[in-house]
Amino acid sequence: MSLSLESAQKIFSGTQVPSPIPATIALFEQLSVDDKLALLWFAYTELGRTITPAAPGAARLQLAEGLLNQIKKMSNDEQMQVMREMTDHVDTPLSRSYANFSVNTKLAFWYELGELMKQGIVTPVPPGYQMGAGVKVVLEAIQKLDPGQQITVLRNTVVDMGYDPGADSSNYAKAAMEPMFPRTTPSPTKITIEGVTEPAVLSYIEALNVDNFDAAVALFTPNGALQPPFQKPIVGPQAIAAYLRAEAQGLNIMPETGISEVLVDGSKQIKITGRVQTPWFGVQLGMNIAWRFLINPEGKIFFVAIDMLASPQELLNLRPA
């Protein structure tokens, strides 16, 4: 029996717990440009009491420094216009430059931009701005989320800004061209998972925890696929490698427990639950994650899906009895 992407996506379908994250992001996208900028300002100042981005590494800030320096030299009106254009995906040289950054560099850019706003070097929310009902609704929706979900929403709001005429959910080649940077904190490199001993799975997670994406991709079949949260599958080693370099650098992956089932053709379907810490929100906060693997009879990864979970309780509910 040949493996298919369609059937692989259906394994452990109960793990795909309905998530409030897409709905919250959709609410954000319905706001006006100024309301989006105001919400980010309030989110990073109010929610920042519980979600504190870790200070970005000097290397990441260096990549964004040219763009930040241009903005610092502008008048307040010009600074606000640039932020509006980035938020509204307007085709400008600065919006194009921003769109080419990786996730981590975009986060570094907005982290530093927020610091410059606090210092009065970059204009904050426009004078006289009154928070509208829509902003209040989205802000309240974010406040109700689990901290890991809040991380995801705030991250996605800035990652999708800028202008990229070739933008596609699986097009990560430009961002992947950024240089790799050393990790600032140690990560778990020897993985043990209760209930799972599959070598390809353990090796995959261990490779990601040291940013060895070539080793991780080598574990896939030539037609293997990786499905990120709330996205379509990314198919093929080259596309998976670009995604991992752009999106997964610096992650600490901490699987806890799982279940493995052998199918009639000798392939295996494996479900694992655990947590992922990002380099941007410190070691105290993390995202609750489930991974669904389909391993072919030769021990290669044909498919892995990454599912965002709402709470630690969902982790418990998805564990084997």
CB 71 within 8 A of CB 113: yes
Between CA 24 and CA 139 the distance in angstroms is 9
| Higher-scoring residue by pLDDT: 34, 175 | 34
Angle (nearest 5°) at CA 118 between 56 and 142: 75
Instruction: Give the CA radius of gyration of the chain.
Output: 20
CB 51 within 8 A of CB 146: no
CATH class of this structure's domain 21-165? mainly alpha
Between CA 203 and CA 219 the distance in angstroms is 8
Between CA 318 and CA 109 the distance in angstroms is 37
Over 90: is that where the pLDDT of 23 sits?
no
Amino acid at 125: V
Over 60: is that where the pLDDT of 311 sits?
no
Backbone region of residue 299 per phi and psi (left: phi > 0; alpha: psi in -120 to 50; beta: other values): left
The set of residues, in sequence order, having a beta carbon less than 8 Å from that of 86 and lying 6+ positions away, is: 94, 95, 98, 161, 162, 163
Q: Can you tell me the mean pLDDT for 152-181?
A: 75
pLDDT at 82: 94
Location of structure tokens 């930040």: 68
Tokens of 309: 């979970």
pLDDT at 320: 45
Over 50: is that where the pLDDT of 314 sits?
no
In percent, the amount of the chain with pLDDT more than 70 equals 84
Q: Give pLDDT tens digits for 224-255.
A: 999 998 889 999 999 999 999 888 888 889 99
For the chain, the three-class secondary structure string (H helix, E strand, C coil) is: CCCCHHHHCCCCHHHCCCCCHHHHHHHHHCCCHHHHHHHHHHHHHHHHHCCCCCCCCHHHHHHHHHHHHHHHCCCHHHHHHHHHHHHCCCCCHHHHHHHCCCHHHHHHHHHHHHHHHHCCCCCCCCCCCCCCHHHHHHHHHHHCCCHHHHHHHHHHHHHCCCCCCCCCCCCCHHHHCCCCCCCCCCCCCCCCEECECCHHHHHHHHHHCCCCHHHHHCCEEEEEEEECCCCCCEECHHHHHHHHHHHCCCCEEEEEEEEEEECCCCCEEEEEEEEEECCCCCCCCCEEEEEEEEECCCCCEEEEEEEECCCHHHHHHHCCC
| Higher-scoring residue by pLDDT: 109, 188 | 109
- Of 96-110, 194-208, 259-273, 278-292, the least confident: 278-292
pLDDT at 298: 96
Over 90: is that where the pLDDT of 154 sits?
no
pLDDT at 304: 97
Q: Can you tell me the mean pLDDT for 75-80?
A: 92
Q: Can you tell me the mean pLDDT for 18-40?
A: 86
pLDDT band at 202 (very low <50, low <70, confident <90, very high): very high
Tokens of 317: 């509910």
Over 50: is that where the pLDDT of 201 sits?
yes
Q: What are phi and psi of 26, to 5 degrees?
A: -65, -40
Highest mean pLDDT among 52-66, 94-108, 168-182: 94-108
Over 90: is that where the pLDDT of 217 sits?
yes
Give me the residue spans of the domains in the chain: 5-17+177-318, 21-165
CATH level 3 topology of 5-17+177-318: Nuclear Transport Factor 2; Chain: A, (3.10.450)
Between CA 230 and CA 184 the distance in angstroms is 29
Q: Can you tell me the mean pLDDT for 260-281?
A: 88
Dihedral (CA of 120, 123, 128, 129) sign: negative
pLDDT at 50: 52
Over 90: is that where the pLDDT of 79 sits?
yes
